[in-house]
């Protein structure tokens, strides 16, 4: 692949075209879910990111990254910074363009039964998901629960986005945490709307079906544009065992969620 070439990947019906130096294109592609498939003839809604090396003579000064609309995402001196910048926004762009239903939620599975953890960014989803993986769960996503026509949740196994103490984010490939990554679509056995509160203990209650359904709708990308599919998914999840409450440390919450999933499989 030359610096002027790229790759086209199909991600849940969205055509993602990445163009630039091979090592950067490959690193960005690794940020996409494992279900992303190379498809040069993809006809889906498209995203096109260009990474253009900038140099002065023989000295590489950095990389300019342009967005699908032609605007500039930024100029980055380091390759890793350029990759992280694209990785930080490409997933939401895919969610906005896809005809699949994307719910802001962490997702893990135990024995083929999935837990959906709805919540927006900064809600502590990635920290809780990481703790669940260490407790033995299979990784599906730390950001999106993805649904098609049926009731099964599909893996969107991007790298986990872990927050640092200074507020910045670092992407961590899930394989560094667990060897249980992705897999077949799974039936949802638990919806857990859990908010992190420092110093608190695990304190949850059952969430009524209507409340659970509304929580799902509130966390669904483009819910207004896809009212039919969104309502269907919300109704299915609302009828599932659902809890709401607060948690303290992620490890304690992970143990409680694992127990609930195991009980649903017995």
Q: Looking at the structure, do residues 133 and 192 belong to the same domain, yes or no?
A: yes
Per the model's pLDDT, the better-predicted residue between 39 and 97 turns out to be: 97
Please say if the pLDDT value at position 245 is more than 90: yes
Pick the last residue of a domain from 48, 76, 97. 97
Q: In this structure, are 74 and 87 located in the same domain?
A: yes
Q: Is residue 26 part of a domain?
A: yes
pLDDT in tens, 144-196: 999 998 889 999 999 998 877 776 778 888 898 899 998 899 999 999 999 99
226-235 contact pairs (CB < 8 A, 24+): 226/99, 226/101, 229/101, 229/147, 230/101, 233/101, 233/103, 233/147, 233/151
90 with 159, same domain: the answer is no
The SS3 of residue 51 is: strand
Task: State the Cα angle at 27 between 22 and 30, rounded to 5°.
Answer: 125
Look at residue 3 and tell me whether its pLDDT is greater than 60: no
Asked if 150 and 109 sit in the same domain, the reply is yes
Residues 105 and 152 both lie in one domain: yes
Q: How many domains does the chain have?
A: 2
* Alpha-helical segments (H) within the chain: 22-29, 79-97, 125-134, 209-218, 227-238, 250-265
Pair 111, 183 in one domain: yes
184-213 CB burial, b ≥16 within 10 A, e <16:
ebbebbbbbbbebeeeeeeebeebebeebb
Same domain, 166 and 243: yes
Question: What tens digit of pLDDT does each residue of 215-244 get?
Answer: 999 999 999 998 999 999 999 999 999 999
Does one domain contain both 37 and 127? no
Rounded CA gap, 103 and 143, in Å? 8
DSSP helix/strand/coil, 103 = strand
Q: What is the pLDDT of residues 77-116, one digit of tens each?
A: 888 889 988 988 999 999 999 999 999 999 999 999 999 9
Q: 147 and 61 share a domain? A: no
Residue with tokens 């893996």: 155
> For position 108, which CATH number holds?
3.40.50
Residues 85, 140, single domain; the answer is no
Domain annotation covers residue 1: no
51 and 156 share a domain?
no
Q: Which domain holds residue 28?
A: 6-97
Residue 158, token pair as written in the block: 């991007």
Residues 125, 213 within the same domain: yes
């Amino acid at each position: 692949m030359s610096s002027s070439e790229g790759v086209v990947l199909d991600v849940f019906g969205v055509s993602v075209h990445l163009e630039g130096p091979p090592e950067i294109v490959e690193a960005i592609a690794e940020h996409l879910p494992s279900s992303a498939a190379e498809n040069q003839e993809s006809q889906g809604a498209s995203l096109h990111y260009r990474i253009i090396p900038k140099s002065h003579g023989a000295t590489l000064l950095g990389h300019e990254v342009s967005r699908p609309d032609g605007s500039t995402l930024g100029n980055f001196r380091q390759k890793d910074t350029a990759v992280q910048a694209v990785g930080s926004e490409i997933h939401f762009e895919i969610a906005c363009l896809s005809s699949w239903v994307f719910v802001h939620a962490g997702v893990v599975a135990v024995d083929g039964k999935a837990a959906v953890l709805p919540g927006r960014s900064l809600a502590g989803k990635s920290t809780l998901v990481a703790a669940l993986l260490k407790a033995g769960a299979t990784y599906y996503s730390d950001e999106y629960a993805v649904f098609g026509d049926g009731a099964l949740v599909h893996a969107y196994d991007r790298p986990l986005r872990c927050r640092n103490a200074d507020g910045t984010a670092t992407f961590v490939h899930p394989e560094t945490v667990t060897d249980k990554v992705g897999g077949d679509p799974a039936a949802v056995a638990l919806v857990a709307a859990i908010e992190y509160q420092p110093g608190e203990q695990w304190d949850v209650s059952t969430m009524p079906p209507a409340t659970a359904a509304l929580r799902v709708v509130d966390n669904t990308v483009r819910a207004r544009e896809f009212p039919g599919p969104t309502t269907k998914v919300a109704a299915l999840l609302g009828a599932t065992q659902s809890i709401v409450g607060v948690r303290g440390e992620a490890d304690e919450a992970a143990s409680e969620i694992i127990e609930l999933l195991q009980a649903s499989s017995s």
